[in-house]
Amino acid sequence: MLNKRLISNPLIENFLSLTILQGINYLLPLITIPYLYNHLGVERYGLVNFAISFIQYFLIVTDFGFGLSGTRYIAENRDHKEAIDTYVNSATFSRIGICIISFAVLLICLFLIPPLRQEKVFFLLFFGQVIGNIMSPYWFFQGMEQMRFITMMTVITKILSLTPLFFVVKDSVDYFYIPICYSVGSIGSGIICLYLMKKQFGVNFFFPKIKNIVIVTKDSANYFLSRISVSMFTNTNTFVLGLVLGNTIVGYYSLADKVYQALTGIYQPLVAAIFPYMTKNKRITLFKKIFIWSNLANICLVVIVALGISDIMHLLFRNVDESSVKVMHIFLFACLVALPNTLLGYPFLAALGHPNFTNYSLVGVSLMHIVIIVCLWTCGWISIYSVAWVVVITETSLLFIRAWGGYKYQLYGQSIIKKQ
């Protein structure tokens, strides 16, 4: 009886659903990344990651912060169907307009920037992911605290998009199939997403009023600043290394970065489940317990990985360069601070009524990150090691700023904040 009641708790149910999803997200890359690296070679593998980092800018721009603002709005208005229908359609048409502008910018970049112009068709094929992303408002399910639907459709579409890679990618000349598979999987996910919204939740699709599109776009602007800031110290690292040092260096850096992203991604189900829950219930005492225990677990994980990371990377990747292993050791320092600064962000400060501070803290450290990268580039000190250390500095700075934010707004001494 107790177990049934525990599992039926929305927070626990959503956490379990997202944990299963994250498990699948780990299992598939664990197979596909070594396969692609070993069959494409480090240079082509670097090109693929260079293209992925570039297209991420367009994914973030077309998301325009709705992944955060949409989650919060749906969580607060889930019992008002008309309001939800209006918001979903307004956000979708807003993103479609941004997508059209983004596609025009992409075409300009492909013809003006030499490293992109050489492989313009390859980069263009990746834009299918942007289209699929617009069709997939996962924030709707997150706001409704129904993450099991995200898990179900993501698992199906990832399998459909990644499985063909093992049949079509046999050599470095087959790299063109990768963006095709990724785009097909993304669009397939979008189709399933729209079907579930209509079938399971009765969402009606229509052309909204222009003023509603403007309202939701303005509301999401601050969140967009936060999301684009994230790319400044994630995608920009790979993009700059590709422009300055070439695809081979990107390949070495990307191996370590993929492992780092995997480690920091372990706690994303927790963050995604807490955000809508804290937005609605604002239980600070529960958050404190989650914060302490998750960070203790994270420390233990980092120590274990530090002891075996060299053997793991040599086992997974054929002829892996030692530089990738050294960069991974640097990233482990960032892993220690990435979890607490993430938990103090949207699941805590933003959910408790301080989204602007959360957004601007990220914008500030991202600008700092870009300034440091530009200085390193100007002085000729850009390398995979210097870039990795800048990531550590940025994540640590964000932790200190957000920790101070909790003190500034006097949140640590409270147990619950009354809902307005």
Q: Sketch the domain layout of the chain as residue ranges.
A: 1-225, 233-420
Task: Report the pLDDT value the prediction gives residue 377, as an integer from 0 to 100.
Answer: 87
- CA nearest to 181, candidates 120, 254, 126, 118: 126
Half-sphere exposure of 71 (CA within 13 A, CB side): 26
Q: For the chain, what is the radius of gyration of the CA atoms?
A: 21
Confidence of residue 416 (pLDDT cuts 50, 70, 90): low
Task: Report the pLDDT value the prediction gives residue 6, as an integer from 0 to 100.
Answer: 46
Mean pLDDT of the chain: 84
Mean of pLDDT values over 402-406: 93
Task: Report the pLDDT value the prediction gives residue 7, as an integer from 0 to 100.
Answer: 46
Whose tokens are 């002891």? That residue is 307
Phi, psi for 416 (deg, rounded to 5)? -160, 145
Task: Report the pLDDT value the prediction gives residue 324, as an integer from 0 to 100.
Answer: 87
Lowest mean pLDDT among 208-217, 253-262, 359-368, 410-419: 410-419
- CA nearest to 98, candidates 214, 226, 203: 214
Structure confidence by residue, pLDDT tens digits, 97-133? 999 999 999 999 998 888 788 888 999 999 999 999 8
- CA nearest to 143, candidates 87, 100, 204: 87
pLDDT reading at 3 higher than 70: no
- CA nearest to 416, candidates 287, 329, 312: 287
- CA nearest to 88, candidates 134, 130, 132: 134
162-179 b/e (C-beta count within 10 Å ≥ 16 → b): bebbeeebeeeeebebbb
Task: Report the pLDDT value the prediction gives residue 366, as an integer from 0 to 100.
Answer: 86
Confidence of residue 166 (pLDDT cuts 50, 70, 90): confident
Lowest mean pLDDT among 3-12, 45-54, 132-141, 294-303: 3-12
**Helix (DSSP H) and strand (DSSP E) numbers for the chain:** 19, 0
At 154, list the tokens: 């993501």
Task: Report the pLDDT value the prediction gives residue 233, as an integer from 0 to 100.
Answer: 64
Mean of pLDDT values over 343-356: 87
| Alpha helices by DSSP H, 77-205 | 81-112, 114-117, 120-125, 128-134, 138-143, 147-162, 165-168, 177-201
Assign 407 to helix, strand or coil.
helix
Spatial contact of 263 and 335, defined as CB atoms under 8 Å apart? yes
Which is higher by pLDDT, 244 or 414? 244
For 413, counting Cβ atoms within 10 Å of its Cβ (0-12 exposed, 13-18 middle, 19+ buried), the class is exposed
Structure confidence by residue, pLDDT tens digits, 24-39? 666 666 678 888 888 8
Task: Report the pLDDT value the prediction gives residue 311, as an integer from 0 to 100.
Answer: 85
Mean of pLDDT values over 274-286: 81
114-152 b/e (C-beta count within 10 Å ≥ 16 → b): eebeebeebbbbbbbbbbbbbbbbbbbbbbbbbbbbbbb
Half-sphere exposure of 339 (CA within 13 A, CB side): 26
Which is higher by pLDDT, 353 or 148? 353
Angle between helices 177-201 and 10-63 (to 10 degrees): 130
pLDDT reading at 337 higher than 70: yes
pLDDT reading at 158 higher than 50: yes
Spatial contact of 242 and 115, defined as CB atoms under 8 Å apart? yes
Instruction: Enter the DSSP assignment of 172.
Output: G
User: How many whole angstroms from its chain centre is CA 163?
Assistant: 22
Task: Report the pLDDT value the prediction gives residue 26, as an integer from 0 to 100.
Answer: 60
Percent of the chain with pLDDT over 70: 90
Q: CA 95, CA 89: separation in Å to the nearest integer?
A: 10
Which is higher by pLDDT, 262 or 302? 302
pLDDT reading at 315 higher than 80: no
Tell me how far CA of residue 25 lies from CA of 151, 158, 170, in angstroms: 10, 8, 23
pLDDT reading at 185 higher than 80: yes
